[in-house]
Amino acid sequence: MARVTKTVVRRLDLPERYHFSRTLRSLLVASHDPCGELAGDDFRLSARTPEGPGSLYFRRAGAELTATTHGPGADWLAERADAIAGLRDDLGDFPGLAAAHPVVARLARTFSGVRFPATGLLFPRLIQAVLEQKVTGIEAHRAWRALVKHFGEPAPGPGGLLLPPEPDAVAATPYWVFHPFGVEQRRTQALLRGALQAARLQRCADSAEATRRLVAIPGIGPWTAAEVVRTTYGDADAVSVGDFHIPNTVAWALAGEPRGTDARMLELLEPFTGHRGRVCDLLAAGGLMAPKFGPRMPIRSFARY
């Protein structure tokens, strides 16, 4: 007898100029993500919710967004569908703050339809952020795909998605298993520690509490914590301190300085407090980059070492 999968449908009204793809793209790794897909007006995402595994399907039609969820986690995903779509992101005083700088004002108008998603699901984003530490995006995304396929379980519903790794399974895996995925011992140990704390982290009430608990875990610093809370809680103020590129981008875009430190970046972003991460995202979306003087970071494969 075929197993019946629960399905829930919810319809959401979209704000004027809402940007579907730019808002949801941040929830997926580039090229190919076994846990999600974005194509035109369609978006799919698998999830391990507090109520069980599930999958979410968004279909945009004009000013309406239809959210269809499947599996034991269907109710949880349906209830959070508006947050995942970024519809709980309140710009608040940002338009007024943005007007104070011509570059930010221009980008805020151009990308006014982009919102910060808030998935409410911390551990998958923690895995991705740890994998992105001190390596190129290509290396990190390759490791994510390999890791998901290793632990892979089919997500409920159509679409052929895989579920993100389950924390207990990751915590129980010896570090050398991750080596063929291109993940060295240092990042693997951070993953294992995060997996052991996953349940506690998931219960954090807000971005501030999650940040405090994340940075208390060895191998997880302010950069990783900011990358996690930005999409888990939709924290528009989270700044990735310690990033290789962002301080230079901020210094160049806001002050015309080709190089910047973390301290200088935070100084320049201070007038946008509450939306500092939003400003950083706008600069990236606008393609503003500081002049490049040095060699690119090489793409490596730790699996060969």
| Domain count across the chain | 2
Same domain, 49 and 98: no
Q: Which residues contact 261 (CB under 8 A, 6 or more apart)?
A: 247
Residue 1, pLDDT > 60, answer no
Residue 27, pLDDT > 60, answer yes
pTM here? Answer: 0.92
Same domain, 109 and 254: yes
Same domain, 11 and 77: yes
Same domain, 22 and 122: no
- 69-108 pLDDT, tens digit each: 999 999 999 999 999 999 999 999 999 999 999 999 999 9
Q: What is the mean pLDDT of the chain?
A: 94
- Looking at residue 95, what is its pLDDT? 96
3-state secondary structure of 45: strand
Q: Which of 36, 32, 18 is CA-nearest to residue 119? A: 36
Residue 2 lies in a domain: no
Same domain, 253 and 118: yes
- 222-260 pLDDT, tens digit each: 999 999 999 999 999 999 999 989 999 999 999 999 999
pLDDT tier, 61 (very low <50, low <70, confident <90, very high otherwise): very high
Sheet bearing 42-49, strands edge to edge: 7-13, 64-70, 52-61, 42-49, 36-39
- 176-224 pLDDT, tens digit each: 999 999 999 999 999 999 999 999 999 999 999 999 999 999 999 999 9
- Looking at residue 301, what is its pLDDT? 55
Same domain, 254 and 167: yes
**DSSP structure string for 238-256:** ---TT-SSHHHHHHHHHH-
The residue out of 35, 61, 88 marking a domain boundary is 88
Q: Give the C-alpha distances (Å, rounded to integers) separating 196 from 3, 123, 155, 193, 214.
A: 32, 10, 23, 5, 12
- 288-299 pLDDT, tens digit each: 888 876 555 454
Residue 2, pLDDT > 50, answer no
Give Cα 219 to chain centroid, integer Å.
Answer: 19
Same domain, 63 and 135: no
- In our burial notation (b when 16+ CB lie closer than 10 A, e otherwise), range 113-123 reads ebbbbbbbbbb
Residue 262, pLDDT > 50, answer yes
The residue out of 63, 88, 113 marking a domain boundary is 88
- Looking at residue 3, what is its pLDDT? 54
- 104-148 pLDDT, tens digit each: 999 999 999 999 999 999 999 999 999 999 899 999 999 999 999
- CATH number of the domain at 60, please: 2.20.25
Same domain, 105 and 249: yes
Same domain, 131 and 186: yes
Range of the domain at 46: 7-88
- CATH number of the domain at 102, please: 1.10.340.30
